[in-house]
Amino acid sequence: MIIVKVGRCLIQQRCAEIGITQRQLADRLQRSETQISDWATNRTIMSMKTAKEVAYILNCVIDDLYEWIIYED
């Protein structure tokens, strides 16, 4: 069986790639900068709906927002 786990969040890298700050991302999402930080440090995991919004703003796909750990059991 293949198991997929969510690894680290890549929001910081994605923001840097397109030249926006986490504060600007927070403003566009109408969320707090603390919430963005919580996602970026894996304190919380965003919902699929939110991940879709973040991916749209960061011009990427949802899969690009996280490092994925894949292994066979």
CATH of the domain at 30: 1.10.260.40
pLDDT at 73: 79
Name residues of the chain where pLDDT drops below 50.
Answer: none
What is the number of domains present in the chain?
1
Query: By residue range, what is the domain housing residue 45?
Result: 2-72
Q: What is the pTM of this model?
A: 0.86
70 secondary structure, DSSP code: E
Q: Give phi and psi for 5, each to the nearest 5.
A: -120, 150
pLDDT at 28: 97
Q: Measure Cα distances from 33 to 14, 51, 58, 70 in Å.
A: 16, 16, 16, 30
Spatial separation of the C-alpha atoms in residues 65 and 70, rounded to whole Å? 15
